Structure 1
Amino acid sequence: IVPCHRVVGRDGALTGYAGGLARKRALLELEAAHATA
């Protein structure tokens, strides 16, 4: 199971998310920061 905010377009572009693209971007950035810490 993949959380819906992690789904991106084939070209890497952010696509629709019920919470809005700004929130989706913020979630992905937050997860990326924790993954490298």
Structure 2
Amino acid sequence: MGKPNSYRAVANANGMNQLAIIVLCHRIINSNGKLGGYGRGLHRKKWLIEHERQFTTN
């Protein structure tokens, strides 16, 4: 985004996301590479990321 101090706005927008399966907010991670928060639980965030990884090719 080019605005390093806007993380709160991004977090609030993701927290209100009613279309989580379409607007994939679970893909947002902290700048240090850790998962960070997720309104539906970190166990779900981790599961979604691992599930998607099965279908990607690198």
Provide structure 1 residue ranges, at least 5 long, that are not aligned to the other structure: none
Task: Please identify which structure carries the higher helix content.
Answer: 1
Backbone CA RMSD of aligned residues: 1.2
Higher relative contact order, structure no. (Cα contacts within 8 Å, ≥ 6 residues apart): 1
Question: TM-score scaled to structure 1, two decimals?
Answer: 0.81
Question: TM-score scaled to structure 2, two decimals?
Answer: 0.55
Please tell me whether Structure 1 or Structure 2 has the larger radius of gyration of its CA atoms. Answer: 2
Provide structure 2 residue ranges, at least 5 long, that are not aligned to the other structure: 1-22
Correspondences of 1:1-20 after superposition (within 5 Å): 3-20=24-41
Runs of 4+ in structure 1 off by over 3 angstroms are: none
Q: For the residues of structure 1 that align with 2:39 and 2:55, how far apart are their CA atoms?
A: 23
